[in-house]
Amino acid sequence: MDMTPMVDVAFLLLTFFMLTAVFSQPLAMEINLPPPDSGDIEMAESNVLQIRVDKDSKLYWGFGNDVPTATTMQEIGTVLRQNANRNDKTVTVLKVSRESEYVTAIDLLDEFEVADVTRFAISPLTPQDAALMQQAQTSTGG
């Protein structure tokens, strides 16, 4: 039995699938970590935009340690575009509760990318942050 036509068909199929396959690049965001011996960096509170996420994945934003303002995932892009790059010293800090949904943090990092936020840090939510978010809830009645 002549196997030549089968080899031709095999190579034709192999070539077809290689040329028609979608070559997708992995989606990843590059995050540069500071060196371990970098120490503390002093910054003015007015240059620190804090995005806080509570255990129920509710979002709050504010500068420094002021009482934050509640917002939604739909509005956070506008907040970032208006405030995150207002000067070259502004740093956005993402503070996420350990009990919140993981997808919320990923969605916020995607919003950072869309809003061209290049100077940001990720930090755990502290009890002081939780108290500020509670204060924001009581002041808005929610």
Determine what percent of the chain is predicted with pLDDT higher than 70. Answer: 95
Let me know if residue 112 belongs to a domain.
yes
Q: What is the mean pLDDT of residues 109-133?
A: 88
Confidence class for position 44, pLDDT limits 50, 70, 90: confident
Token pair 């942050």 is found at 129
Q: Which pair of tokens denotes residue 64? A: 């420094």
CA-wise closest residue to 64 among 53, 51, 48: 48
- Per residue in 63-110, pLDDT (tens digit) is 888 888 888 889 998 989 888 878 888 889 999 988 888 899 889 999
Mean pLDDT of 40-64: 86
Q: How confident is the model at residue 140 (pLDDT cuts 50, 70, 90)?
A: low
Give domain status of residue 134, yes or no.
yes
Note the pLDDT of residue 57: 87
Tell me the C-alpha distance between 80 and 69, whole Å.
13
- Domain of 84 in residue numbering reads as 45-140
Least-confidence region, from 13-22, 36-45, 93-102: 36-45
Q: Helix or strand or coil: residue 7?
A: helix
CATH number at 88 reads 3.30.420
Q: Is 24 part of a structural domain of the chain? A: no
| pLDDT recorded at residue 141 | 61
Question: Based on the structure, what is the number of domains in the chain?
Answer: 1
48-53: strand order across its sheet: 69-71, 59-63, 48-53, 91-96, 120-124
Q: Are 70 and 98 in contact (CB under 8 A)?
A: no
Checking phi first, is residue 24 left (phi over 0); if not, alpha (psi -120 to 50) or beta?
A: beta
In a domain? residue 70 = yes
On average, the pLDDT of the chain sits at 84
pTM: 0.70
**Residue 92: inside a domain, yes or no?**
yes
